[in-house]
Structure 1
Amino acid sequence: MSAKKIFISYSRRDTEYVKSLVDALRKQGFEVWFDKNIRTGTDWDDTIEEELKKADAIVLILSKTSVASENVKDEISYAIGLDKPVNPIKIEECDVPMRLARKQFVDFTVMGHEAGFERLVNDLKQTLKLAEENKSVPKGSFKPPVSTINTNPQKKSKKIIPYLIGGLVTLVLFIAVIWNCTEDVNTEEINDSTDTIVEQEQVQTEDSSAQAEINGLNLTKVVYSADGDKPTGYFENVGDNVWMERSVENDAKYRFTETKRDEWFVYLSDESRDINLYIDLYRNGIYMSTTEEEEPTLWYTIIATE
């Protein structure tokens, strides 16, 4: 296998686990880089950006601390902006962010670390078009630290069934007691109160679902702020890949053409002014560059989306 460069994005708390993973990936023929390779005196951010540019693929470690890490979010957002393939792996139970949950990830907590590693290697080969080198991964190729949480695949415990049955019986008995103690209570008032609560919960659920579904593929409007506080304008899709930038007073400012969109980003261009924008829903920012080669810079902060 010709060496392909892999960048590892992770939280410092998972360093020991990542060291074991890096050693195992290198034995499979991959050239692996993670921030332990940064030399003393080197500018940290510049090195990270340079290595992300050189990487052929990114392996993202999903754990309780990494999903909350701003550094990890910045690395992944930057990698996606560079069109780099991202291969997430989940090494412990954690709340995966919505935009990462949409990506196909290898769940080591379900498959087990050994089977999960074999799947990761095969996924990387496919991503990097090395599928023709479909050699099986030897057993025991990856051995995580002993302290690793969830070293075995999760299994549904049969012990929970008696507890569920017991809980159901208790609930039925409790309802019967309450019913007998409240015969004189106005049933109609209870029903009206219950209906009101249910309706409120349904409205809240519908609102939450509508908000959660907004992503780069269905985005139609973003409200932005120049100072991060009050709204100063917005971009709106007016149809046929045309976006208008308007002020808060609804005055038209500029016209942009949509060139591309995916789950996290919408890319806009104004050729008359030689300006390129991309709306970054992951970092809640609108970034601007004046040429294809120039590094994009944060222009506005997103404060609302539709």
Structure 2
Amino acid sequence: MSAKKIFISYSRRDTEYVKSLVEALRKQGFEVWFDKNIRTGTDWDDTIESELKKADAIVLILSKTSVASENVKDEISYAIGLDKTVNPIKIEECDVPMRLARKQFVDFTVMGHEAGFERLVNDLKHTLKLAEENKTVPKGTFKPPVTAANQGNVVQKGSKKIMPYVIGGIATLLVFVILILNCDDGTTEDTIENDTQTATESTNPDWEDAVSSNSIDNYLKYMYKVGPEDEYFMDAADSIDMLMPNIGVVTYADPDGTKHFVKNLFTNAEGNLDYGQDDNQLPRSGDILSAISFVDIYDVNDKQIIHGENIIAGEKVRVMAVDFPDDGSILVTIQFPDK
């Protein structure tokens, strides 16, 4: 079949799942694009818009984090505006957005991930009017990683038949453990030591520390330390987004040039990631700013002060857009944390 281009809309927390899905879709003949590898310095919005326009269909990953992601909502709204076909798949229990509630979606949590994948492929082929050489997708074509996104949320048919094997497996494991405990020849200790060393080598302590603290500052430090090529870089960015659920407008600089923010983590003029040392250039979308002083927050729509909401010195915000009013000031639309 001729290749058709599929755009994947998803949350970065589901990246490992999506990578498996992408690989499986490509093996079915689809040309798949997802934003894991957008180059550093590339304008994010322009790239997303371009790829959405070129896509023949959109696969939307429905998960707890994706339905809360403003980026995902923007992608789907834009795709619907372009009259693109949206194929939602639900990989874990979550609230389906109102705009998609009436759309038919493939529920992997009920069908199982392999059966759900088969249904997705057939739906895409039907929607895109592709000739099907095979009516069904071979079993075992899609094997997602075992993650929080797909573990323990699938209805297991025939679970009563499985239970005796589970019990037998547990019993075998207990016997094995007893035999090991009774064999004190020094090999057990060596094995444990080697296994511990291997486990330690396979983890990412910096990322684990950032996740454990779940703080904006530690995620920022991690992002700067590892750079955009790191596998968890976008996870850290998404985590910051989750910690900044609110949107408003603030004054970045007064007409006389007095600034109320300094750059914290930002893209410099060369398109590279920079941290700490403000380059005195205008902020750009995606930059993280740190407040110098107390700043009022204005409503995005009516530009009126939001009473009870403000940014205090040292608090971090993310830039969404930059505006230049006639009075010579600089305003920025921001994401900001809860109080």
- Answering whether residue 141 of structure 2 is matched by residue 135 of structure 1, we say no
**Residue aligned with 2:19, SS:** helix
1:132 shift after superposition: 4.1
- Answering whether residue 70 of structure 2 is matched by residue 102 of structure 1, we say no
1:7-26 alpha-carbon deviations (Å, 9 max, x no partner):
00000110000000000000
Unaligned 5+ runs, structure 2: 161-298, 304-339
Q: Which amino acid aligns with 1:31?
A: E
The equivalent of 1:11 in structure 2 is: 11
Q: Distance in 1 between matches of 2:44 and 2:10?
A: 15
Q: Distance in 1 between matches of 2:46 and 2:81?
A: 16
Q: Which amino acid aligns with 1:10?
A: Y
The equivalent of 1:57 in structure 2 is: 57
- Answering whether residue 36 of structure 2 is matched by residue 36 of structure 1, we say yes
> CA distance change for structure 1 residues 107 and 42 in 2, over 3 Å: closer, same or farther?
same
- Answering whether residue 45 of structure 2 is matched by residue 48 of structure 1, we say no
1:36-82 alpha-carbon deviations (Å, 9 max, x no partner):
13122211110000000000000000000000100000000000111
The equivalent of 1:92 in structure 2 is: 92
The equivalent of 2:301 in structure 1 is: 228
Q: Which amino acid aligns with 1:149?
A: Q
Q: Distance in 2 between matches of 1:227 and 1:24?
A: 42
Q: Distance in 2 between matches of 1:91 and 1:112?
A: 9
**Residue aligned with 2:61, SS:** strand
Residues 47-196 of structure 1: matches in 2 within 5 Å?
A: 47-147=47-147, 148-150=150-152, 152-153=154-155
TM-score by length of 2: 0.45
Q: Distance in 2 between matches of 1:134 and 1:67?
A: 34
Q: Which amino acid aligns with 1:228?
A: N
> CA distance change for structure 1 residues 44 and 93 in 2, over 3 Å: closer, same or farther?
same
Percent sequence identity over matched residues?
90
Q: Which amino acid aligns with 2:37?
A: N
Q: Which amino acid aligns with 2:15?
A: T
1:133 shift after superposition: 3.7
Q: Which amino acid aligns with 2:89?
A: I
**Residue aligned with 2:88, SS:** strand
Q: Distance in 2 between matches of 1:102 and 1:150?
A: 26
1:121-146 alpha-carbon deviations (Å, 9 max, x no partner):
00000110015444321110000102
Q: Distance in 2 between matches of 1:153 and 1:146?
A: 15
Unaligned 5+ runs, structure 1: 159-225, 231-306
1:156 shift after superposition: 11
1:212-234 alpha-carbon deviations (Å, 9 max, x no partner):
xxxxxxxxxxxxxx97249xxxx
Count of residues in correspondence between the two structures: 164
- Aligned 8 A contact 2:57 2:86 in 1: yes
1:155 shift after superposition: 6.1
**Residue aligned with 1:7, SS:** strand
> CA distance change for structure 1 residues 99 and 155 in 2, over 3 Å: closer, same or farther?
farther
TM-score by length of 1: 0.50
1:100 shift after superposition: 1.0
Q: Which amino acid aligns with 1:77?
A: S
- Answering whether residue 96 of structure 2 is matched by residue 23 of structure 1, we say no
Q: Which amino acid aligns with 1:135?
A: K
- Aligned 8 A contact 1:92 1:150 in 2: no
> CA distance change for structure 1 residues 2 and 40 in 2, over 3 Å: closer, same or farther?
same
Q: Distance in 2 between matches of 1:12 and 1:227?
A: 26
1:128-179 alpha-carbon deviations (Å, 9 max, x no partner):
0015444321110000102232363356999xxxxxxxxxxxxxxxxxxxxx
**Residue aligned with 1:6, SS:** strand
**Residue aligned with 1:39, SS:** coil
**Residue aligned with 2:80, SS:** helix
Q: Distance in 1 between matches of 2:151 and 2:300?
A: 43
Q: CA RMSD in A?
A: 2.4
**Residue aligned with 1:141, SS:** coil
Q: Distance in 2 between matches of 1:142 and 1:9?
A: 18
1:85 shift after superposition: 0.2
